[in-house]
Chains A and B, each alone.
Chain A
Amino acid sequence: MKKRTLALLLSTVMAASVIAGCSGGDSKEEKKDKEDGGGKEEIVLSVFDAHAYGLDEYDEMKKKFEEDHPGVKVEVQHVSNDTLTVLQSRVNSGDIPDVFDIESGTNAKMYYEYAYDWTDDTDVLDLFNEDALETGRDDDGKIKSLPWTYENMGILYNKDCFSKAGITELPANLDELEAACKKLEAEGITAFAVPAKETWVLGQLATHFMMDKSLDGPGTAEALKSGELKFADLPNWKNLFRFMDLAVEYGPEKPLEVDWETSENMLANGDAAMIHMGDWCQSTLDSFNASANLGFLPCPVGAGAEDATLLSNCNWTYIVNKDSENLELAKEYCQYILSSDEGQSWMCEAVGAVPGCKTDKEVTGKLANDAKTYIDAGETNGWIHTVAPASYGETCGPLMQSYMLGQLSADEMTAQFQSFWTSGQ
């Protein structure tokens, strides 16, 4: 009998703790709020951020905002992996952040129905560069999100490897690229370490060869989606196959096992001369070898230097939830991180990228500065992969892997790209 009572008691305790566990989180927070606010109610601003760079500086910036706004607490969730999945589940469960960060284009457009419309806030919009604001424009011409920084992508090359192999002029077409590969090989340097394991990188790589300079990025994407422009008719498309052949021939022995980390490591340490990537990886490259001498090589897609592409875009964009309980505060915070003096130092110095807002600050990132010379010369074009049909990289990247493995012919791959772009299948 005693045993039975004990068992009952124990299981009651267990059951109670289970139920308490479910609600535990809330009650604690409530208590804390009451203590901190000293009787007054504290306003909590919830922010979702997708970046993993310059976190310490971000925290300082956030603290400054809290000091200037007594009684306001900013709760930031930094999610740099599976960003979309986490954001989607938060929105689905009704826990929509007041300010959130997402890639512009196809992804951001899904969330525009929750977004505050900035179109009439001209004093805020004046703080940003016009072309950067364009990335936040919806189909009706309204500005639904504010830009973060410019990101640039193309081929990154190790200048030391090139000079060691005696390459003095940057290859501007594929013949010259092949010649450069041969010179590098003769020096015992792996010419390419394209991260072919990463389908998103392959997807990005392919967009260089879609670029139609008479239309620019979004225009090219629109024309491809509507079927006005066909892959088989793209002037530089066939060069993609030659490029992939070169990347396999002059690449590492197991090309499809190279992930982004390996690829960046090889480049930074001079084990490989070229990869495809963007300046967002500056801090990773620095962590592998801070003194690496790297630069951008516009992707040689056509006949000469004027065809070569460096694609540049204000990629990440911040949305303010229009139904936020603290809308004014959320707007202020969004504007603060993206354009205030503190925000500018975060972007220019901690992240090292060129911000989308107008700024006089020096940018620390070497690659970003390198890209800036091309931007200032007007030689860059917009991104295609962010305005492509949803899951472009995850669907088309594997097709390119199939080509590299010899499972698909060039024509078959082109046909499958075509059907994905026009029908989304």
Chain B
Amino acid sequence: MRQKKVREFLTFALFVFPTVIFVLFATDIPFVMNLYYSVFDWNGVGRSMEFVGFENFVKIFTQDSLFWDAVKFTLKFAVFFVVIVNIVSLTVALVMAKEKKSSSIGRAFYYIPYIISLTAISLIWKFIFGPGFEALYEITGWEMFNWSWVGTPKLAFYVVVIMAVWQNLGFYMVNYIAGIVAVPKELTEAAKIDGAGRLQTLGHITLPLIMPSVSICTLTSLTFAFKLFDIVMVFTKGGPANSTVSVAYNIYMEAFTRNNYGLATAKSLIFVIFCLIVTAIQLKVTKSREVEQ
């Protein structure tokens, strides 16, 4: 009996430890070091650090309006991104879940943006918002193609949302397709025989049964939105006029261009705590809606 337990533990360890080591060195240990740095005033380079206690945290809450602008931007982005990407990818998934040749081509199409590099993506969108829109304006004469999308703070927000949705759509679509395919055929067929329309089947059969997919997708999209960094870094650089500075980008700038390493780690701590709370609530809400199959 004991031997069996030991063996089970060994098997468990064999599979889990490599990952644990990675997570430990890439996430957990840096996190603990963050705790340490956050109470120091340090420029990120020098050999000496000055202990300042909670001064960094006080500074964030009293003087740092740019950080709170970034928080507002990130929250607004999170709402838009989570809602849009989930609705759109679910819709696409419902169409693409059918086993036809055309749908496998379609799936590939939607998935490609997710695997190409961000530098390429930013070049594509630079072209679309530049010469692409110019040409469309000449053809259609619609004023919206003549707007300065990337150069106006209000529109630049939507640029970031559109790019993020476009890039990540494929990932969520695949998740939803996996859920939809797993819905038992006899249930949908039975509903059909009972005279349920398409919308009724969707609302009463499919949606409740793919709730696990929904909760995974909303969770991952929410964390993606909170961590938003790469698109801002590569495409908008936080501009124009700081209108697209996300929290992660603000922290990066604080650490590497403003050289306030301690302040930056303090900010990241505050944000980690905030993210933990929000995701915990989100998980609780969606989990309560999942049905047992």
Chain A residues in contact with chain B, CB under 8 A? 8, 11-12, 14-15, 18-19, 84-85, 88, 91-92, 110-111, 113, 197, 199, 253-257, 390-391, 394-395, 398-399, 401-402, 405, 407, 425
Chain B residues in contact with chain A, CB under 8 A? 11, 14-15, 17-18, 21-22, 43-47, 63, 129-130, 146, 148, 150-153, 237-242, 253, 256-259
Number of A-B residue pairs having CB atoms within 8 Å of each other in the complex: 82
Asked whether B256 lies within 8 Å of A394 as measured between CB atoms, the reply is no
Consensus secondary structure, chain B interface: loop
A194 to chain B, nearest CB (A): 13
B267 to chain A, nearest CB (A): 15
Asked whether A398 lies within 8 Å of B241 as measured between CB atoms, the reply is yes
A19 contacts across to B, CB distance below 8 A: 18
B241 contacts across to A, CB distance below 8 A: 398-399, 401-402, 405, 407
A405 contacts across to B, CB distance below 8 A: 152-153, 240-241
Closest 3 CB pairs of A and B: A256-B151, A254-B148, A401-B241
Within 8 Å by CB of B239, from A85, A110, A256, A390, lies: A256
**A85-B151 in contact given A8-B11, A111-B45 (Cβ < 8 Å):** no
Asked whether A256 lies within 8 Å of B258 as measured between CB atoms, the reply is no
Sample of 5 A–B contacts (CB below 8 Å): A11-B14, A113-B46, A255-B151, A257-B130, A402-B241
Give the docked Cα–Cα distance between A15 and B256 (Å).
Answer: 35
Give the docked Cα–Cα distance between A88 and B15 (Å).
Answer: 36
Asked whether A197 lies within 8 Å of B239 as measured between CB atoms, the reply is yes
B242 contacts across to A, CB distance below 8 A: 398, 402
Give the docked Cα–Cα distance between A18 and B17 (Å).
Answer: 11
Asked whether B45 lies within 8 Å of A91 as measured between CB atoms, the reply is yes
Asked whether B151 lies within 8 Å of A257 as measured between CB atoms, the reply is yes
Interface centre among B17, B45, B47, B152 (most CB of A within 10 A): B45
B14 contacts across to A, CB distance below 8 A: 8, 11-12, 15
Minimum CB distance partner of B45 in chain A = A110
Asked whether A394 lies within 8 Å of B240 as measured between CB atoms, the reply is no
Within 8 Å by CB of A199, from B17, B21, B239, lies: B239
Asked whether A88 lies within 8 Å of B151 as measured between CB atoms, the reply is no
Asked whether A88 lies within 8 Å of B153 as measured between CB atoms, the reply is no
Give the docked Cα–Cα distance between A370 and B106 (Å).
Answer: 57
Within 8 Å by CB of A18, from B18, B148, B153, B237, lies: B18
Asked whether B18 lies within 8 Å of A15 as measured between CB atoms, the reply is yes
Give the docked Cα–Cα distance between A256 and B18 (Å).
Answer: 48
B76 to chain A, nearest CB (A): 18
Asked whether B17 lies within 8 Å of A15 as measured between CB atoms, the reply is yes
